[in-house]
Amino acid sequence: MSELADCLFSSAHFHVFHPRFGFLNCILLHVTEYASTDTTGILVHNKWPPQFTKPLLEGNEERKVWEVVPSTFEDLCEWAHVSQNPSEVNKTQNHLLLYKTSCSDGIESLYPVTIHVQGLLGKFNSKVFGSWTGIQKTIPSAIQYVNLKGCNHWEPWVSALHAIKNLRQIIYAALGDYQHVEADPSLNHNIFMQCQVFTKIRKDNQNKKSVLLPSDNPFCWMKAVDRAWGVTDKVQIARCDKSGAIVSSLSAVLSPGDFVNVGFTFDISTTHNASGLHKICAYLNIEHVLQLVKAVEFAKVSKRKAVHADIPLLPQIELAKKQRFNGDSSNSLQPGITDASSNFNSNIGEGQLRDENENTTFRELIPVVSENVPEQAPALHSSAILGDGTITETVAKTNDHTDKELVAMDEAQLATYDTLTVARLCTFANYSDAKNLIYAVENIPPTATWGIFKPIHDKSTLLCDPLSNMPCTVWLPGVVSRVWMFDPKGKTRAHPKPFTDVYDARKVFNPKSEMDYYSATNLQMGDTVLMEAYIKHYCLRSDIDNLTPVNKCPWRGWKAYFELKCISLIHTTLQDDKVEAKKDEQHIHI
């Protein structure tokens, strides 16, 4: 086995330098548990398809006490311990979760451990520099992250979530927050883990060397990094080859949908807010990612549902089932665990799974735990042909506003169109695509909210999806009443950019790259168009702003409006498309 494999599956007595806790004289146990045991005493990793977890079992058939995280909270209190490291300079991050054991002479020994959990890869960024964009000021916030999901594998997934919940509860209780109660996770929760890319070079770790190889820095990005920062630790990536051996690999080998084994530790921070209240956060810090099975192979086996005999479900699984089918979403999110709503499936394809009994489209999430996660726009569907009034792909509906009767339609106006145009307009007026966040104005989900403020890619003025923090696009089919695309007097004081994103969709509605442009000057009053826009808002200023600072004002007025993205022409009253548009008598009102 390779050096990485030996690191993942071995333990030895030696002095170890922890990336944040300095030199520790201990037994560094690299293999702890492959999640935890359930109430029946069965290890969680044994509930996954056995052919996928075989590399984890070879040479490790019998587990020692320290290798298995107890399934009950009472037993876990005897197994785990939270200790303070006095050598850590940063006093807000000087705690470590350790395995506690008692020797024959009554002396307790504490060992740092790495906890293992299995799941399917969701969104992740395991590149050496992670989310860093090359800008100096973003160095402290650069992270590598992994989002794990369980899909339809209920038993191992909820058991793993239950073990993490108990460990986090131990951390809060050990640090004095006895009122904190971790909510029971459900199947809808994902596990989010992260790792800070750069380490602050201080006096206590100034002798640490960079672990970057020439292949890790092909574009010499480190030249832009201040000397006060360095890459002193990397997330280890490995895979299983055809013979079952574990070999070191690059991050490019990973893809969404892969079945992986991830080792993590707890990153514990303790701070005080402005009111002096003690705040504790326990995040999951990635140590390594081991690819056990590629997404395609896992998808093939998952289609054949396995049956486990005589294995009772945890109470949390029964609760999760009820929440899934009853729509109960009262559980609060936990640091490191994100809510994936009730979507368990994705489109069929490489690295993706589908449950034949489900009609809901799965949308992978950008974790809400950390604001350092880079912005990623959702991928678009293939073209949805609307020329015949139908959609070529089945689009998941997000609410009950899907019937024609629920959308206000001008019957008198519809009577002026042919049957094909009426069918297309009804399709636009009832459209709802939760994956790409495109909704007809009647179908905007009630969960939509204003985005989160960020120094980069600020979305606070946009109406966004609450989970991904990506803006929702609104479709508004209608008739042009007034047009004002340009300044009618030709003023040059402001130098506005002319609006030219107008497309010809009279025959077929395709992605914008496949449609012809339509001259904005040819738009006439009476033309039928589809307007795509964002919903934005801005704060109204008043006399109170002169008396009270902005951040101290309890009540403020806001005004919402549509920000135009593009226009698609559906039907025109003109017989000749090249007729020049009227100029001075037209005014914009879109």
Q: What is the pLDDT of residues 354-384, one digit of tens each?
A: 333 333 333 332 222 223 333 333 333 333 3
As a whole-number percent, the residues of the chain with pLDDT over 90 amount to 7
Contacts 24+ apart (CB under 8 A), 555-564: 560/535, 560/536, 561/535, 561/536, 561/537, 562/474, 562/476, 562/531, 562/533, 562/534, 562/535, 562/536, 563/533, 563/534, 563/535, 563/536, 564/499, 564/531, 564/532, 564/533, 564/590
Whether the predicted pLDDT of 464 surpasses 90: yes
pLDDT tens by residue, 132-173: 777 777 788 888 889 888 877 777 888 888 888 888 888 888
Residue recorded with tokens 């909510």: 183
As given in the structure block, the two tokens for residue 333 are: 């999110």
Asked if residue 294 has pLDDT above 90, the reply is no
The secondary element (H helix, E strand) that includes residue 83 is strand 80-84
Average pLDDT over residues 388-406: 35
Burial class (CB in 10 A: 0-12, 13-18, 19+), 452: middle
Contact predicate 365/340, CB 8 Å: yes
Single-letter amino acid, residue 298: F
Q: What pLDDT does residue 284 have?
A: 87
Residue 125's pLDDT band (boundaries 50, 70, 90)? confident
| Stretch among 220-229, 320-329, 479-488 having the lowest mean pLDDT | 320-329
Supply the DSSP string of 11-52, one letter for each residue.
EEEEEEEETTTEEEEEEEES---BSBB-TTS-BGGGGS-TTT
> What pLDDT was estimated at residue 111?
73
Tell me which amino acid residue 122 is: G
Q: Is the pLDDT of residue 472 over 90?
A: yes
List the single range of 287-291, 303-307, 468-472, 474-478 with lowest mean pLDDT. 303-307
Q: Could you give the count of Cα atoms lying within 13 Å of 523 in the half-sphere of its Cβ?
A: 31
Task: Pull the structure tokens for residue 126.
Answer: 């395991």
Which pLDDT does position 536 carry in this prediction? 93
Residue 27 — very low, low, confident or very high, per pLDDT cuts 50/70/90? very low
Q: What is the mean pLDDT of residues 541-562?
A: 62
Q: What is the pLDDT of residue 25?
A: 32
532 falls in which pLDDT band (50, 70, 90)?
very high
The residue type found at 485 is M
- The larger pLDDT score, comparing residue 303 to residue 372, is at 303
> What whole-number distance in Å separates Cα of residue 347 and Cα of residue 353?
7
Please report, as a single letter, which amino acid is at residue 228: A
Question: Is 17 or 338 the better-scoring residue by pLDDT?
Answer: 338
| DSSP output for 220-246 | -GGGGS-TTEE-----EEEEE-TTS-E
Per-residue pLDDT at 502 exceeds 50: yes
CA distance 528 to 506: 9
Q: Is the pLDDT of residue 579 over 50?
A: no
SS3 content of the chain, % helix, strand, coil (to 5): 20, 25, 55
Highest mean pLDDT (candidates 30-39, 180-189, 362-371, 559-568): 559-568
Q: Which residue has the tokens 């209608």?
A: 478
Residue 495, pLDDT score = 59
pLDDT of residue 569: 92
Three-state SS sequence of 257-274:
CCEEEEEEEEEEEEEECC
Measured distance CA(551)–CA(555) in Å, rounded: 10
Give me the pLDDT at residue 590, please. 37
Q: What percent of the chain has pLDDT over 70?
A: 54
Q: Give the whole-angstrom CA distance, residue 89 versus residue 522.
A: 67
What does the alpha-carbon distance between residue 172 and residue 278 come to, in Å, rounded to a whole number?
11
The model's pLDDT over 200-209, given as tens digits with 9 standing for 90+, comes to 777 666 666 7
Enter the DSSP assignment of 428. Answer: H
What pLDDT is stored for residue 139 in this prediction? Answer: 81
> pTM for this structure?
0.47
Identity of the residue numbered 348: I
The Cα 579–Cα 572 span in angstroms is 12
Domain boundaries, the chain: 3-339, 404-571
- Residues 433-445, mean pLDDT to the nearest whole number: 90
Residue 171: predicted pLDDT: 83
- Does residue 5 register a pLDDT over 70? no
